[in-house]
Amino acid sequence: MKEEHKYDDIINLEHPISKVHKQMSLENRSAQFAPFAALVGYEEAVKETERVTENRVEINEELRNRLDEKIYILQSKIKEQPEVNITYFVPDNKKKGGKYQSITGKIKQIDDDNKLIVLKNDIEIPINEIINISGEIVEIV
């Protein structure tokens, strides 16, 4: 005697095909099982929070005076376009802090009005963000 199961009456029926709606492609059917990001941008926000920034170093009066002397020397030798290495703070656009960056280049101009050192490749460095200037021409200070 054959044992009866709950769905025996429909188990072998043919799969119904709609006469009104086009059958969904295999690709579209599988897409409904793709991962769902309920919080759009969450992963990027977590990465941004994890990103480390540095605090700006407070420059004491002695260091400020030495930097001013070096800038004065550079100003007097500006026609020679001296090559220097400048370390300066770059504030972060998204969160508190920033990073220190060093760049080597020839000085094109010292803009006293805007408090900038302009390198030959037109990179502008805010004088108030500089913590070190080194190079042959300023090593005596």
pLDDT tens digits for range 108-140: 999 999 999 999 999 999 999 999 999 988 775
pLDDT at 141 over 60: no
The pLDDT of residue 1: 59
C-alpha 127, offset from chain centre: 23
Per residue, the 3-state secondary structure of 66-117, as one string, reads HHHHHHHHHHHCHHHCCEEEEEEEEECCCCCCEEEEEEEEEEEEEECCCCEE
**Averaged pLDDT of the chain:** 88
pLDDT tens-digit map of 38-89? 777 888 888 888 888 889 889 999 999 999 999 999 999 999 999 999 999 9
Domains detected in the chain: 24-141 (2.30.30.100)
The pLDDT of residue 133: 95
